[in-house]
Each structure stands twice: as C-alpha cells, then as structure tokens.
Structure 1
Amino acid sequence: MTDATGIRREEAVEAALGKLDLDAKARLLAGQDMWSLPALPEIGLKSLVMSDGPIGVRGVRWTADDPSVALPSPTALAATWDPALARRAGRLLAQEARRKGVHVLLAPTVNLHRSPLGGRHFEAYSEDPYLTGEIGTGYVLGVQDGGVGTTVKHFVANDAETDRFTVNNVVAPRPLRELYLAPFEAIVKNARPWGIMTAYNQVNGETMTQHHHLVNEVLRGEWGFDGINVSDWMAARDTRRAIEGGLDVAMPGPRTVYGEALATSVRAGEVDETLVDGAVRNVLRLAARVGALDGAEPVVTEPPAPIDGDALAREIAHRSFVLVRNQGALPLAPGRTVALLGAAARDARVLGGGSAQVFPDHTVSPLDGLTAALPAGALTYATGADPSDEPAPAGPGFALRAVCRDADGNVLGEASLPSGQVQWIGDDLPEGVSHEALHSVEVTGTFTPRESGEHTFGTRGLGAFTLTVAGETLYEGVQDMGDEADPFEAFFGAPLERGRAVLTEGVPVEVSLLHPLGQEHAAPLPGVLFSLAHLGPRRDPEALITEAAEAARAADTAIVVVATTERVESEGFDRADLKLPGRQDDLVRAVAAANPNTVVVVNAGSPVEMPWRDDVAAVLLSWFPGQEGGAALADVLLGTEEPGGRLPTTWPAALADAPVTEVTPTDGELHYTEGLFIGYPAWDRAGATPAYPFGHGLGYTTWEYESLELTPDTATVRVRNTGSRPGREVVQLYVTPEDGPVERPIRRLAGFACVEADPGGSAEAEIPLPRRAFEVWDGRTGAWTAVPGTYEIQAGRSVTDTRLRATLSVGGTDQRPDADQRFRDAD
C-alpha cells in the first residue's frame, strides 16, 4: 500500500461516513444476522461477512455441501516454531475465505496456556507470550496478504472456559502486561491486524466489551490499533458503556445493544454521536481494506498465488509432530511388520470441538495413511480400546441428510450431513428454508455397520424426537431441561441413549430422527441444534486389549494411537483432569508388555498424562493433525519426513505437578495469584521436572552447538548436523537475568530460528535480541523499564537443554545491551 493509496482510502471512508444519518450509522454497528453486517447501498457499502476459524473457514453456512480445508490445530501450528509457515497457513485461509465470500476471519486465538486444564487450550498457541506473538503475527500477515481481515482474540485474559460469560479475572499489572497483553501488543505492532475481538470475561472488575482503559487507552492509544473491535458473540451487554468502552460492533444481530438502542441513546443525550462516528469510521475502514466499499482501493488487489490445501495441511502436520521420546524405534526400518492399535487409529480426531469445527471434504486417518504407505500384508489393525463409551454424533458408516419441512409436511429444503449433528445457528439454514416456515427437521439416510452386534442409538438436544432404525421406532418422546441450568449443555453435552438394534456388518439399514420444533425448547441462539447419536457394539474391554496385545506380539513394531474426545477437549468447559479417557492407558501397558518396540501416537490438542511413557520405545505427539494427519503420520513414521515439532507448552507427568490448576472462579472471581509464573517459569521457580519441557522435541539426526556470538542487537548461533540424515533444528534463545531487586522468571524465551543442514553441514541462525527481553512493566510509572545488570544468554534445544552461554551487560532505560563476553564452548 502506498501512502497516497492509504490517504485516498481514508478520504473514501470520510466521504461515506458524511453521507450517513444516525439510524444508518447505528444499524451498521449491529450485526444484521449471525455472521454479517448490513449493506448500505446509498454509500456503496457491501455487506461485510465474518466466519469462524482458526483452522479452516466455515463460511456463512456450516454445511458439508460447502467443505473447508481443515489445517492442524493451533497448538500444532505453534509446535512448528515457524512464523513463515504460519504465514503460508494464513494465505491458504484467505484463499478459502475469498472462495466462500468471507471478508473477515474470526481468528487467531492468542490467549495463553495458563493452565493445562483450559478446555480451549488446543485453539490457542502456547504458554509463552513471545512464541504466541510470533506465530500469531505470521498468521495475521498471511490472512491479510490475501486481502481478508482478521480478529485477534479473545482480548484479553480469556484463558479458561468455566463461567467465561461472567467471570472477573483479577490480574496484577505486571502479568497483565508481560504475559496476557504481550502477544496482542506484538501482533498489533508487527502485523497491523484489521480487527480485534473482545472477550466475554471481565478483567479487574470491568467487562472487556466495555473496558475503556484496555481498549481505548492501551489498544488504540498506546499501540495505535486502527481496526475494528468486534464483540465475542453475545458478549455486549450495555449500550452506553460498550460504545464508551471502545466496542465498534456488537454481534450477532439483529437484536443487540446497538442498532436502534444505540440511536435512541444518542437522541436521549446518553451517548455522544462522535463516539458512534468513530466506531462507524473503523467499520468503513475495514470495508475499504477488504474491497467492500465503492471508491476505495482494497489493500490487496491481486491475491497471492493459489495454494494446494491438501499439500499444505500435510506439511504443517509433519512439521508439527513432536517426537518426545525415541529409543531407536523411529523411523521404522524397511520391511518391518506393523500392528496398528486403538480406535483413534481408525477414527482419528483431526480437529477440536466448538466454534473451531469445519467440515473437510475428506480426512486421512492413521489407518488410511499407513495402509497406503506400507506394502500389502505388512499392516494389521485391532481396536484395542475406545476412548469413549457413550454415544457420539453419528459418523463413519452413516450417509445422512437433513430434510426441512413446513407445518403441512412440504419439503422446504435439505442439506447433506457429514455426521448426525445439526448445528444451524442464526440464518445458517439450508437454501430455501426460513425459521418462520420451518416446522420440523428430519435426519434421514442409511447406516452400514462396520461390526455386527447390538448398536446403541441416541439423541442430543431439547424437544420432541422420534427415532427409527431399520423400520422400528426405538424412541418417541420429549427431552426437557430437567435439572440442567445451562441450555448449552443440553445441546452440546452428552447424548442420551434411546434404544438398541442388532445389526449385521455390511448390511445397510434405514435410519431417521424426526425433530419437530417448538419455542418451549428454543436454542440459546436462534437456530436448530440437535444430534442423532450412535455407539457401536460393546465388546468386553479385556478381550479387546488381549486381542491387541496378541497382534502386537506378532508384529515387529506396535503402534498405539491414543486420543481425547470432544467431551474432553472442546469449547464451553474446562477439563477435570489430564487422563486419557477409557481404557487407553491399560491398552498401552498391555501392548508394551507384549512388544518392547511399541510406539505411542498421542492424538490430543493439549497435554495428557502418560504414566507409561518410560515403558515404550517412542512417543510421538500428533496434536489434532487436520485432514491430512494420517498421511503426514505415515511420512514421519517411515522416515520420509522428519518430525519437526518442538513443544509450545510444558507437558506435566501428572496434573498434581502442574504449577497452575485453578480455573474455577470463587464468588465470580478468578485470581491469577501465580502472577508472572505460568508455564516453564513456574516449573523453574518450583525446581520441578515435567514429563517433557517447553521447547523439547527430537528429530532423526543429531546437532552440535558450536558457537554463540553476541552484539547488542543480535545473537548468532552456529550449529552442525552431526547425524546421518538431513535435518531441521529449532535454535532457541533464552535470557536469564542476574539476581536483583525486581522479581523475574529465571529465564524467558527471547528468540528462535529454524535452520536446516545436510549431514556434516553447518548452519547459522541470526536471532534478533528484542529490547523487551530486558524490560519489565513498571506499574508505578506506567511504562516499560530496562533493568540494568548482567544477563546470561543461553542457546539450545529446549528450556532445559541449553548448549551455549554468553553474557550481556544492560544499562539504564535509554541504553542498548552491550556484548560483554562470547563463549564458544558447550556445557
């Protein structure tokens, strides 16, 4: 963008603003529906469309008829430690957004992994604010490279899900600035995002959608943010306080605290119209940037070259896999036979639950990936253990569609369903269907069982249901709220068993779930929310584990895939523990006893306890690996690709060891009593040892750290590949201050870089030393202050595996660090 172009864009914004009356301005600040703002043809303004992310782009209709590329989870993207790869991911998502007519992606999530119990942990990047800011910057730059806006979220301290609508998070000034605000600040300054989303929660007594200090004084004032500030959905609560607190858009619409309510408040003298003008100006600026305002040249006139979504999803997956243990088991030697074990190997979980869900047009499971990659006869499979023993939305084997009818039984429209879950929120209805005319929805189609035996069917949701399988009505009745106080739990909680049917493997049967709609069971948001659920035949768990152990004993290598479920990791609730669900731990123990060459693949978006980790030959973390996860897994297991990931968050051996476990408010408040000490700084302070430390990850080669040289601004690290394979190394830089009057973490990540080298070759990483690494937030002066003294700079492979050290002397606030010493010797 040239300066002249920017000036003309601002002129177009001002000209459009000058043509609007109060009612039009107020209407523009309120969503016209679930996902969009109203068009104003009189000024050449198109409707601005938003869509959920962060691993794919839903579009305005959440339907399998318009599939989305599903990339690996945000924890996986952060595990690559590669902002350039994050930027490529953002460009792909911009490509997807443009294809779906979306102007603004509701992502990325840059809240921190304060506690491993955070239910939405998988949707955020890291426990470290610097790593989070770097990956988030790459992501935002990539999306906006494609001419699509972002909304960096959830501003701020939305680090847990329990009582998220009402909780008051009490955070002291230093941790608020140095931890929770830091990634937002870095992204605003380095990527200039076009949007921010403010959170549901309060911070220090004020709701974020009306937090004048943090939004107007910090975000806009100190940092110079000039984009749109949109509320999280249903978060805006008060018209006057929201507009005075810097909230530009209240979503969703049309019933919000803005619109008509805002115009009325202005006319009553309760709100200054200049505040409305400021918010409208921000919306129009966004419209101009994305090409939705006539007379304003968009920021991007020629989108980047097309990106192959499948190829990029596969690349990010194998670059994200973290090999935390390897006793020579990986990569698999040619010609070895493999026993693949675990229900998650066949039905992999490729993405997390909640608003991050999309419908890819295909998914590659570990079983699919290894079947394609290994020679015929080399692979056997056994279930071993299922992570879930309750019905879940109907999946593999079902071919379903949703049929919408009016009160007379006439078909209004229909849509295909990739699972038994209907989740139409707002106007996200099949084409030709309106809420006014819609009387009933029937989920109908066929089910072809993968196993013979007694199958369980159920429902999830509120209201009347008629469930029919193979011509037999298994249930007809009404589900009320009962003792459940939260309507979201009824729609997204555990399905209820309704009946059973004995079915034969491979023989299709007709299934139907009819759901008449009624206002007495209306959803929390305007929409249609219910599910057809299913659970396959239950075999004796001990027999399944014994069968898996026998298969492992007969193979050269046993690969066990263990996983969490949507009932463990999802939006809307926090985790109760870190245990793997079901009998999966027992399965791993039995397989490891049968075959010492056992590899465990952990299909989870965030930490889980692995009590067997020292008893197996290898442990590979695959996160939620996206639609190409199984193909990427085969690449890594067979050695076609190296596992490129490093841990973006510490993995404890047990929940009891974790430094921060409190995520449940007391009397409406959650006090961040740990202050600066979350993640690895908390482990350092406690002198405790986790299962696997921050930054840890093994590749298929070895590295020698040869030298570390410092200037006041830069650290240069030379490494050499001492193994027999080409490899990639993530060189990490940590800053350790000397003891002094200011309490600080023992060490803090200050920079990192990815390098590559062939066997015997060397590579040099030049890593900037940010001034912020030597500063603290001074609450008395309200400013960042450099702390004078001596700092040790450590370079290495993880926070606990540093190989080289050197020192810097730092002067006062106005001075840069001085390079005091250089060391070339490893520890």
Structure 2
Amino acid sequence: MKHKNIIEQMTLEEKASLMSGKNFWNTKEIERLGIPSIMLTDGPHGLRKQGGKADHLGLNKSIPATCYPTAATLANSWDRSLAYKVGQDIGKEARSEKVSVLLGPGLNIKRNPLCGRNFEYFSEDPFLTGELAGGMVEGIQSNGISACPKHYAVNSQEHMRMTIDEIVDERSLREIYLTGFEKVVKESNPYVMMSSYNKVNGEYANENQHLANDILFSEWGFDGVVVTDWGGNNDRVAGLKAHNQLEMPSTNGITNKEIVDAIHAGTLDESVLDEAVDQLLSLIYKVRLDDKESVQADYEEHHNKAVEAARQSMVLLRNENNVLPLNEDEKVAVIGDFAKNPRYQGAGSSLINPYKLSSPLDSLEDSSLNIVGYAQGFKRMGGNSSKLLKEATSLAESAKTVILFIGLDESKEAEGVDREDLKLPENQLELVESIMKVNGNVVVVLAGGGALELPFADSVQSILHTYLSGQGVGEALTDLLLGKHNPSGKLSETFPIHYADVPSSPYYPGDQATSEHKEGLFIGYRYFETAEVPVRYPFGYGLSYTTFDYSNIVIDGLTVSFDLKNTGGMAGAEIAQLYIEKTDTKIFRSKKELKGFDKVHLMPGETKRVKLELTKRDFSYYNSERKDWEIESGKYKIQIGSSIQEIHLEETVDMDGVSPSVFLKHEFPHYSSVKVKDIPDTEFEKLLGKRLPSTKWNRIDDLGMNDTINQAQYKNWLGKMLYHSIIFFHFFFKKIGKPLTANNVYFVINMPFRQIDRFTGGKISRKNVEVFLRWINR
C-alpha cells in the first residue's frame, strides 16, 4: 500500500468514514492526519456546480458555466481533437471552481433510440464511443483533475434504472457494452469510474464481481477509484468487496456503520477496507486543489469554442437543389418556437446554467439575411393553436425561403424518463404540412438529442439537425446556413424510418424486473446493415457544401492509406470511415463494423494522404467459452467510405486465426438469419448459458427495501394512493408547462425504498421506511 503509514494511524471508524461522502458533493476529510476533502460534481458537457442547495436532478440552479454541445452532438463531429479541447475547457472551469472530479463523460451505448438519456451518450458504436470519450477524458485530466467515465455498465434505459436487471450475453457484453469503457481505461487512464444503478445478469453493477474484480481491475488493470452513481449503493459491504471505494452522497454514517459492523462480525476482512482507503487516498492526493495554483477560465473564449464545437457537430441531412447556403439579402421567414427559445441541452444532472446563450433568431436577425418576420408557429409543449398556425402560414407566403425550427421539447428527453416514441409532436407535423403548401423552399432545422421519425424528409428542400448544440447554437447555425462555414458533421447513430424497425423494439424497455437484450450484438447499424433493413439515414451519413474523391488505397500490414481530395469549390472537412467485413464467416456476426476514421480538412482542389492504423483486436470476436478474443481465419474486406452505406474503396486481406467452435450459424438459427425481433427463449438461454429469470415482479410477496414505489400500486389502498398521487403530480406539472419538475417527480416512482433514508440523509429513517412498508403490505 502506498499510504500504509497514514492508514495505520486511523481508527476503524475513520477508515470506514472515508468510504462515503461528507455531504452531497464532497468527500470526508480527516484533519488530524492532513487528509483533505475534495469536491466531485456533474460535468458531461459543462460544469454543474451548485452554489446553494444541492440535488442530483438539476432542480436547483448551478453557477454559470459554458454549456458545450452534448455528447450525442459532439459525437457527430467524429473529431478526437475537438473532444479533447472541449474536455480541456470544461476541466479548466472545474479547476477554477475547486472541483477535483468532473462526473463525465457518459459512454453508455445507445441500445435503443428511446432511452431518455441518449443525449448524454456518444453513439450506438463502441469504437466511436471509446475514441471520443477517451479524448474528452484526456482533455479533462490535463488540468490536474479527474474525469469520471460513467455509467459502468449496461445502463441502457431510464425506466426502473435503479432496480432493472439487464440480461445480456457475455459476447454482446464484451463486444458492445464494455468496449468503449475498455478503450478509455487502457488508453486514457481515467482516475475515477462511476458504477451504474442497474443490475447486470442478477447482480447490481456496483457490487458485480465479474464487472469490477474480474474485468475492470484484474483484466484491464484499472488502478483508480470507483464511485457509485448518486444513491447507487445497494449493499455497502458487497460493494466494497467489488472495489467500490466511494459511496456518494453522504448517508450520515448509515453505511459507514455497516462496514464497521461487518468487520466486527468477521464477514469483511479489514484488509479489504484498507486497500479501498489506500486507493481513495491516492486519488485525493493526486487531484487535491488546496495546494495547487489557482486558475481562471476565460468564459468569452470558451463561448467562442462552444460555437466552434457546435459548427463541427451539426449534420446536414438533406439539401435539394443546393438551397443551402442561403444567399445574402435573401427574404427569409423564421418560424418555430425553438428559433427564439432554443433547445440546446438535455435535462437532469447535466443541466447547465449557461454563461451566455445565443438564440438562432437573434443571430439570424444580426446577419445579412433579409428577415421578413418571425412566427412562433406552435405551442412548445403540445396542443393545437389555429391562431399560431395561421400566423405562421401567412408569414411563410411572404418569404422566398422559410427556416422552420422544430424538434423535441424539454419533457421528451431527460434523466429518469425514457421517450415514448420517435415522433415529432402532431402540432409541429401539422405546421410543416401547412407551410409546405404555401412555400416550396422550406429549410427544416431540427433540435433534439437523437433519432427522429421524419415523415416529411423527402418533401422539404433541406434538413439541418442541430441535435443539442449548447450555448453557441445560434451563432453556429447561422454560420452554416449562410455558408460562412461548411457543415461537416456525420451521424453517430442510425435514423430508422419507423421505430418498429429498431431491433430491440420488441424488448425495450424492460418494464418490471428485467430487460432482456435478446437482440444481442445486433444494435444500430449492426442490425440494419446485416438484415438489409432500409433506414432514413445510415450511420456515418452527413452532407457537405463541397464534394470529395477517394482513391489509391494501399494496405501494408495493418496500415491502411488512401488519397482524399476536395473536388468542390469550397473548403470543407470529410470524415473518412474504415469498416471491416468478414467474408464467408462461420459464425453469426455483424456484416461490417467501424474500426477506424479520420476527419480531414481540405481546401478546394487539395489532396491529402490519409493513414489509418488497425490492430489484430479489430478483426476479433469474443469467445465466451475461452474467455478471450480470437480471430476467425480467412478473408476480410477493408472498406473506406463516407458512411456505412457509401463505400468508395475496398481491398481484401487474409488473416491468420482459428476455425470457430462457438457461435456457429447452425446452432443459432435466428441470430444467423438476423431474425432478432423474434428470438425464442431457448435460443437466448443457449447464448446466455443459463435460464432466464422472470421478467415480471412478484405481486404476491410483500414489498421489501429493494422494491419500488411503482410496485406499491399492486398493494393495499395506501400503496395505490401513494402511486397514483405521484402519477397525478407528474401529469399536473407537465400540464402546466413545467416538464423538468414533472420528470423529477416521476423519478421518485422508480426509486427503491432502500434509497429513501440515504437520499434524505436519515431525515426519513430506515425504521420509518420499514414501518411504512408494513402498512403497505397489510
């Protein structure tokens, strides 16, 4: 142990006290031994440091900070260096505010586009996720503080996230859900990792021996600290045995006592506690800021950088007849509530109080365009208004071009709540239809944190998706619309035509006890490409105002190089993508997988030689029987494209390896034929290697501490009243236009009873909760 001398001076109670927070955001200090307290706070796309009363869901305001594009937006830049710079800036703001651990980035995989927190995650692809998250981690930690990648692992839904059991086979776990974390741990060396609320294959992630001890610490060599998600502890002693060194927030000594009692009872070896204390002290001394020089963040400079990040991350999805960029002095009508009141970030623990905010309307009015007027067009939170519709239609008739701002409101995407569908609100779709009848030049500007169904996609002239672009959204968007900058973003996720096309749609979300990942490996493009299902926009897709040419591919060992030329008349950046496809495979697998990319900036007529490096791991699949990665011997196509569907160059290479003995096609007929929406339990159980647990709650047994308020609806009148009261207030706040409050009320319904005493710091004691449960169970 590095800090044996200090640990030997501690009492058992002092050691146990370090294993949970001092308060909501700080670790505990021990002054007599010179151990300082450090601060942790939210920060996936900007610093959320609360100056007053603390909470986890963004209820109370935080100090002003730069709001950068969310991870889902930044991922569309496909730019490692940009991710590094954004992380560096957020880290600098954190350090200037004496924050030692920034809780981000989030790198859970987008299993399903309905996940309410997808705006905080990078991609459906683990390689892209790991590359960009790694850049952000390195940028944050360049300031002498720690990043905290989250949520480890398989946090795929918000509904019932504190108790849901994610049932996933080992191969899919390794190849899809853990690869991003593995890349970040091995290549970017984060000092802290955050465990997730959910269970994975029957064990809570925070106390999951396989995820933590077998994989994270032993196999990957992680030597940092694991912190719970806030309130994410189930069994404190079990968590400690799985290398969870820090529980947050404070539990007012409740779980510290559990550790002490376990040692006295002989169920926990004190050496396990000593090792955890040693690892926590290493972190504290590494990122403490009380003895470091203070820094100042330049918020104006950071705003300009946030604008640049937004410019590089917006995606041009359609541009018929080159309607964009707009001409100078063009008569333009601006329509849609999001033009004046932009949707630029998500909700929940990542909610930033922006230092400044540029609205698209203000930026457009300050431009050279001839803005003939603005109309709200629709009620933001839904509902019909013939007056607003008439005003917008009338304005559209007076302009040459309409810039129409539509998207998802704040209630649709938030921590703790999943989306109900991929549809835009009916009042917005009605507006689009009405505008198109009177004006043929419609430029749709979308706002939202992910994929959408776009029934009008082939009818409007242009579509530009801003995603959630942060506080610089107005300036960045205006620059792209006017051609001052060239759009270069490409989708980091697939846009299906209909939600029913999504492979996990029959299984998502897990409603009660479990969430079965029956689709296995086949999420996102891995399904759509292999099953040849048409999509609205494929993975890696995005348009530019210029054109590019690919040529002269050469493969030398594991190095792939080719020429990329800007053949148009405007400077621009192209995202060249490398995919690997196994020919004549004997096992079920995705048709092709992303294994390399580069964002290349080119002047008109300029050519650059692009070089991409592969590794043997890029050709491998995970053999869950051998517990190792292996290459299937044979031929592989190396494909270079501008999206997964637009392949411009291809060469074939031979790879030495093994003849597979697992995942053989004839043994898994549904997976081999990609009929993953109808996987029989028997075939999924064969893949899992065990029987499936029940997907439903046991409604007969008494409720216990690990059950939720949601389950109280099946008990006596008191339980039903509690449940329906929360549902009432959820819909009430939604109705009166307070979506964030409504979502936070709903968050409570999925909270396990064990968390009540911990979240209230003992104000509602465990004994009080147990008494209440006895009443409900009568």
2:62–2:352 contact (8 Å) kept in structure 1: no
1:731–1:755 contact (8 Å) kept in structure 2: yes
1:45–1:292 contact (8 Å) kept in structure 2: no
Distance in 2 (alpha carbons) for counterparts of 1:813 and 1:245: 34
Letter in 1 for 2:191: W
1:197–1:231 contact (8 Å) kept in structure 2: yes
Residue 378 of structure 1 aligns to a residue whose secondary structure is: strand
1:647–1:695 contact (8 Å) kept in structure 2: yes
Is residue 183 of structure 2 the alignment partner of residue 186 of structure 1? Answer: yes
Is residue 9 of structure 2 the alignment partner of residue 19 of structure 1? Answer: yes
Superposed CA offset, 1:356-397 (max 9, x none): 10111321111111112235x53411111123148xxxxxxx
Residue 345 of structure 1 aligns to a residue whose secondary structure is: helix
Letter in 2 for 1:708: I
Letter in 2 for 1:781: R
State how 1:244-283 maps to structure 2 within 5 Å.
244-255=241-252, 258-283=255-280
Is residue 593 of structure 2 the alignment partner of residue 748 of structure 1? Answer: yes
Residue 496 of structure 2 aligns to a residue whose secondary structure is: coil
Where do 5+ consecutive residues of structure 1 fail to align? 1-9, 391-539, 815-827
2:334–2:371 contact (8 Å) kept in structure 1: no
Distance in 2 (alpha carbons) for counterparts of 1:678 and 1:65: 36
Distance in 1 (alpha carbons) for counterparts of 2:186 and 2:333: 50
Letter in 2 for 1:789: G
Q: Which of 455, 465, 471 is matched with 1:627 structurally? A: 471
1:111–1:180 contact (8 Å) kept in structure 2: yes
Distance in 1 (alpha carbons) for counterparts of 2:205 and 2:529: 32
Superposed CA offset, 1:447-492 (max 9, x none): xxxxxxxxxxxxxxxxxxxxxxxxxxxxxxxxxxxxxxxxxxxxxx
Q: Identity of counterpart residues, as a percentage?
A: 35
Distance in 1 (alpha carbons) for counterparts of 2:118 and 2:454: 18
Q: Which residue number in structure 2 is paired with residue 322 of structure 1?
A: 315
Is residue 302 of structure 2 the alignment partner of residue 309 of structure 1? Answer: yes
Is residue 381 of structure 2 the alignment partner of residue 388 of structure 1? Answer: yes
2:328–2:368 contact (8 Å) kept in structure 1: no
Decide whether aligned partners of structure 1 residues 226 and 302 sit closer, same or farther in structure 2, where only a CA change above 3 A counts: farther
Letter in 2 for 1:41: E
Residue 226 of structure 2 aligns to a residue whose secondary structure is: strand
Q: Which residue number in structure 1 is paired with residue 85 of structure 2?
A: 88
Q: Which residue number in structure 2 is paired with residue 419 of structure 1?
A: none
State how 1:760-771 maps to structure 2 within 5 Å.
760-771=605-616
Is residue 326 of structure 2 the alignment partner of residue 332 of structure 1? Answer: yes
State how 1:358-757 maps to structure 2 within 5 Å.
358-374=352-368, 377-389=370-382, 541-661=385-505, 662-665=507-510, 667-757=512-602
Letter in 1 for 2:351: Q
Distance in 2 (alpha carbons) for counterparts of 1:306 and 1:116: 36
Superposed CA offset, 1:125-167 (max 9, x none): 0000000000000000000011111111110000111111111
Letter in 1 for 2:338: A
Superposed CA offset, 1:392-421 (max 9, x none): xxxxxxxxxxxxxxxxxxxxxxxxxxxxxx
Superposed CA offset, 1:533-590 (max 9, x none): xxxxxxx623322321221221121000112112111111111111112411111122
1:387–1:563 contact (8 Å) kept in structure 2: no
Superposed CA offset, 1:263-285 (max 9, x none): 22212222111111111111111
2:421–2:499 contact (8 Å) kept in structure 1: yes
Distance in 1 (alpha carbons) for counterparts of 2:467 and 2:245: 35
Q: Which of 172, 192, 197 is matched with 2:169 structurally? A: 172
Superposed CA offset, 1:265-313 (max 9, x none): 212222111111111111111112213587xxx8xx8979968210111
Q: Which residue number in structure 2 is paired with residue 820 of structure 1?
A: none
2:639–2:651 contact (8 Å) kept in structure 1: yes
Shift of 1:766: 0.9
Letter in 1 for 2:494: T
Decide whether aligned partners of structure 1 residues 65 and 808 sit closer, same or farther in structure 2, where only a CA change above 3 A counts: closer
Residue 609 of structure 1 aligns to a residue whose secondary structure is: coil
Residue 597 of structure 2 aligns to a residue whose secondary structure is: strand
Letter in 2 for 1:385: F
Shift of 1:329: 1.1
Decide whether aligned partners of structure 1 residues 210 and 217 sit closer, same or farther in structure 2, where only a CA change above 3 A counts: same
Distance in 1 (alpha carbons) for counterparts of 2:64 and 2:620: 46
1:95–1:146 contact (8 Å) kept in structure 2: yes
Is residue 21 of structure 2 the alignment partner of residue 31 of structure 1? Answer: yes
Decide whether aligned partners of structure 1 residues 60 and 554 sit closer, same or farther in structure 2, where only a CA change above 3 A counts: closer
- Of stretches 628-637 and 767-776 in structure 1, the one that deviates more from structure 2 is 767-776
Letter in 2 for 1:573: V
Residue 640 of structure 2 aligns to a residue whose secondary structure is: strand
Letter in 1 for 2:465: L
1:387–1:583 contact (8 Å) kept in structure 2: no
Superposed CA offset, 1:310-361 (max 9, x none): 0111011010000011111111111201101001111111110111101113
Superposed CA offset, 1:23-48 (max 9, x none): 11110111111111111122222111
Letter in 1 for 2:304: A
Letter in 1 for 2:513: G
Letter in 1 for 2:393: A
Superposed CA offset, 1:715-747 (max 9, x none): 112111110001100000000001222221100
Distance in 1 (alpha carbons) for counterparts of 2:531 and 2:657: 30
Distance in 1 (alpha carbons) for counterparts of 2:29 and 2:199: 32
Shift of 1:651: 0.8
Q: Which residue number in structure 2 is paired with residue 781 of structure 1?
A: 626
Where do 5+ consecutive residues of structure 2 fail to align? 53-59, 660-778
Q: Which of 239, 242, 249 is matched with 1:242 structurally? A: 239
Letter in 2 for 1:47: S
Q: Which residue number in structure 1 is paired with residue 767 of structure 2?
A: none
Letter in 2 for 1:320: S
TM-score scaled by length of structure 1: 0.76
2:126–2:176 contact (8 Å) kept in structure 1: yes
Residue 627 of structure 1 aligns to a residue whose secondary structure is: helix
Decide whether aligned partners of structure 1 residues 65 and 736 sit closer, same or farther in structure 2, where only a CA change above 3 A counts: closer
1:146–1:304 contact (8 Å) kept in structure 2: no
1:210–1:244 contact (8 Å) kept in structure 2: yes
Q: Which has the higher helix share?
A: 2
Superposed CA offset, 1:228-279 (max 9, x none): 1001111111122111122111111134663222122212222111111111
TM-score scaled by length of structure 2: 0.81
Letter in 2 for 1:319: Q
Letter in 1 for 2:72: T
Q: Which of 107, 111, 129 is matched with 2:108 structurally? A: 111
Distance in 1 (alpha carbons) for counterparts of 2:51 and 2:298: 23
Letter in 2 for 1:181: L
Letter in 1 for 2:460: V
Q: Which has the higher strand share?
A: 1
Residue 185 of structure 1 aligns to a residue whose secondary structure is: helix
Q: Which residue number in structure 2 is paired with residue 288 of structure 1?
A: 285
- Of stretches 71-80 and 239-248 in structure 1, the one that deviates more from structure 2 is 239-248
Distance in 2 (alpha carbons) for counterparts of 1:611 and 1:663: 23
Letter in 2 for 1:330: L
Is residue 751 of structure 2 the alignment partner of residue 758 of structure 1? Answer: no
2:623–2:630 contact (8 Å) kept in structure 1: yes
Q: Which residue number in structure 1 is paired with residue 639 of structure 2?
A: 794
**RMSD of equivalent CA atoms:** 1.9
Distance in 1 (alpha carbons) for counterparts of 2:643 and 2:156: 24
Q: Which residue number in structure 1 is paired with residue 47 of structure 2?
A: 57
Distance in 1 (alpha carbons) for counterparts of 2:615 and 2:159: 35
Q: Which residue number in structure 1 is paired with residue 727 of structure 2?
A: none
Letter in 1 for 2:265: A
2:314–2:467 contact (8 Å) kept in structure 1: yes
Is residue 207 of structure 2 the alignment partner of residue 210 of structure 1? Answer: yes
Shift of 1:667: 4.8
Letter in 2 for 1:559: I
